[in-house]
Structure 1
Amino acid sequence: MGHTRVVTLTLNPALDMTVRADGWQQNTVNSGQDMHLNAGGKGVNVASFLADWGVNVTATGLLGRENASAFDTLFRAKHIEDAFIRVPGSTRVGVKIVDHARQQTTDINLPGLTATPELLQALEAKLAELSANHDVFVLAGSLPPGIESDYYAKLVAQLRQAGKFVALDTSGPALNAALAADTLPNLVKPNNHELSAALGKELNSETDLLDAAHNLLKRGVELVVISQGEEGALLVTPGDIVKARPPRVQVVSTVGAGDAMVAGLVAAHLDRLSLAAAARRATSFSVGNITRLGAHLPPRAELDDIAARVDVSAIRPADPLKV
């Protein structure tokens, strides 16, 4: 088959400036220990992790011409096919202040370049072209100014109609619109808060979360993954529910942990893994990433070791859920 080809779409990429400043205080002068500038944005991160795992991946989206060199370097180094539309201006910078002493990360996200109707037309032509020889599409991250909140919902409908497997990882109005649409993605990965906001009700217990997940499954989603941070994740399909709890590790940076989980879920889909095995792989990607700076996976042997230490338990609901 050649390998199944994956496209990641990042409409709002960012240059991630990660500054390490242990014990920093607001409203005063602080000392920083070091700084890294990484090509980022959720879909770019997903592509980076998939490339580390050996998956053929193409990255597309909108990228500012003026500061694209970090992206060019990443794509070359990891053999990621670059299908980004270059746009005038600079890609936004996202500032992350990492405090190792407190194990905390503070994010400051700036708005992206405004997308014009012409750029969106060019992007849609590019997606149609990629659709000819790619089977899996990962739509990830926030929408930049100039794009309506239902844009992902429209793309999901087009791609699923074309028979593609679509994973969506976004939040806020873009997620709310996508989950309210008639055609839903195959895979969604909200956290508790995002799912509560999207469905417009507080989900306080595991039962509430599972009911919400089953509501999405009834409407056409194949896999709902509810990420719960260091508690792990719930993975729900029409026939199965598992909870994955990660092993404890020394956290270097949590930047990209959610994107690593999405990459692990896509890699599991490509290999047709069982739900429990998918939970192990996705968690191992996420845990492996937080032991590193930037969107990089450790070597396979280390990932296999982490996967073996993930605690995966099947959940049997008290009363069988009606799907």
Structure 2
Amino acid sequence: MSAVVTLTLNPAIDRTVTLDRLIPGAVHRARSVRSDAGGKGVNVARCLADWGIPVAATGILGQDNAAPFEQCLAAKGIDDRFVWIPGETRTNLKLLDLGASDTTDINLPGLDVTPGILETVRAVLVDMTAPDGIAVLAGSLPGSLPADTYARLTRELKARGARVILDASGPALAASLAAGREALPYAIKPNRHELEEWADRPLSGLADVIAAARALRASGIPLVAVSLGPEGALFATEAEVLHAHPPATQVASTVGAGDALVAGLVAGLHEGRPLADTARLALAFAAGKLTGPGANLPGRDAVEAIARTIRVEEAGP
């Protein structure tokens, strides 16, 4: 068993193409190209390993191109519990526009996952998750799996006493939030757009985001963290609502920044930090990742130095 386990059911090899400027319809000459073993749960595990927290990772990989994942997980010291199936893990394209400091994602379809394969992964996940541990369920679902997959896994893990952190969107998130209190995760990390989808209305100002986060927390989720891009992030519990402001950062790549924030949130929970310190750590993870390519953190001292610069203020009771 492991204190922290991540699940990635739809991993990807992230191929990042760096361009001076992205112009639709034009021919481009890339500055550089790099490939990283990715997927949200994999990225979270990588950042946690960089921080020094023992972590296991499971999910589904295509056996025809599993080598990049094997190499990455071994290099980071992550306990590799992935299930291999025939075929290739998808490749996602990320077009990094240096001129706009923005990234355009092109996500390809994933592997075809049968109920039998999912049952194998479920057994590994449950076996690896300690009763008082943290399980991170992250990323999209393969199209062959039902939308309530995360809800069913959360229900079982909660029954064992684990805290489930969910980072999903679309139908998978909607199904989890509608599955009843016994299937609600301990924490979720929507961005503003995903929160708007749940609230079914625009959230143009911070007060609107706070109101929606409170409503989501009141539904039975102990911790709601909302990533707000350049505005930082909001953290809402029953006792307090905090707004963490990001530090000034020289951005090298935004790939995996949201996953790094989730990793910082998990690290704070694992270490039993107060909410304000957890918020600082989450934003420091994200800011630290922004300074380099791939889902990697700088050294621990550098992350702690960033955390000390992050301003956290009360946003409401």
**Residue 127 of structure 1: which of 125, 128, 141 is its match?**
125
Report the 3-state secondary structure (helix = DSSP H, G, I; strand = E; otherwise coil) of the residue aligned with 2:313. Answer: strand
Kindly provide the CA deviation profile for residues 22-49 of structure 1, in whole angstroms up to 9, marking residues without a partner as x.
1232223211111111000000000000
Aligned length: 315
The residue that corresponds to 2:260 in the other structure is 260
State the alpha-carbon separation in 2 of the partners of residues 22 and 218 from structure 1.
45
Q: Distance in 1 between the 2:187 and 2:131 partners?
A: 20
Q: Paired residue for 1:320? A: none
Alpha-carbon deviation of 1:163?
0.6
Query: TM-score, normalization: structure 2?
Result: 0.96
Aligned CA distance change for structure 1 residues 22 and 212 (closer, same or farther; 3 Å): same
How much has 1:18 moved relative to structure 2? 0.5
Distance, in Å, in 1 between the alignment partners of 2:244 and 2:250 is 18
Range moving further from structure 2, 242-251 or 38-47: 242-251
Give 1:315 deviation, angstroms: 2.0
Structure 2: runs of 5 or more not aligned: none
- Give the Cα separation in 1 of the matches to 2:3 and 2:307: 24
**1:134 Cα deviation (Å)?**
7.1
In the alignment, the residues of structure 1 paired with residue 139 and residue 257 of structure 2 have an alpha-carbon distance, to the nearest angstrom, of: 13
Paired with 2:273 and 2:9, the residues of 1 have a C-alpha distance of 29
Counterpart amino acid of 2:298? P
Please report how far the alpha carbon of residue 250 of structure 1 lies from its aligned counterpart in structure 2 after TM superposition: 0.8
Amino acid at match of 1:69: A
Q: Which residue number corresponds to residue 80 of structure 2?
A: 82
Name the counterpart of 1:242. 242
Shift of 1:127: 1.9
Q: Please, what TM-score do these two structures have when normalized by structure 1?
A: 0.94
Q: Distance in 1 between the 2:204 and 2:153 partners? A: 31
Amino acid at match of 1:150: D
Equivalent residue number for residue 145 of structure 1 = 143
| Gap regions ≥5 residues in structure 1 | 318-323
Counterpart in the other structure of 1:283 = 283
**1:56 corresponds to which of 37, 41, 54:** 54
Q: Mapping of 1:108-187 within 5 angstroms?
A: 108-131=106-129, 135-182=133-180, 183-187=183-187
Task: Give the deviation of 1:4 after TM superposition.
Answer: 6.1
* AA in 2 matched with 1:303: V
Q: State the shift of 1:193 in Å.
A: 1.2
Shift of 1:311: 1.3
- Residue range with higher mean Cα deviation, 194-203 or 146-155: 194-203
The change in CA–CA distance for 1:204 and 1:20 in structure 2 (over 3 A counts) is: closer
Write the letter of the residue equivalent to 1:212: A
Note the aligned Cα RMSD (angstroms).
1.5
The SS at the match of 1:244 is: strand
Deviations 1:284-311 (A, max 9, x none): 0000001110010011111111111111
- 2:81 aligned counterpart, secondary structure: strand
How far is 1:111 from its partner?
1.1
CA distance in 1, matches of 2:124, 2:17: 35
Per the alignment, residue 219 of structure 1 pairs with: 219
Separation in 1 of the partners of 2:18 and 2:118?
A: 36
How far the C-alpha of 1:263 sits from its partner, in A, is: 0.3
Q: Does structure 2 retain, via aligned residues, the 8 Å contact 1:7–1:134?
A: no
Q: Secondary structure at the match of 1:5?
A: strand
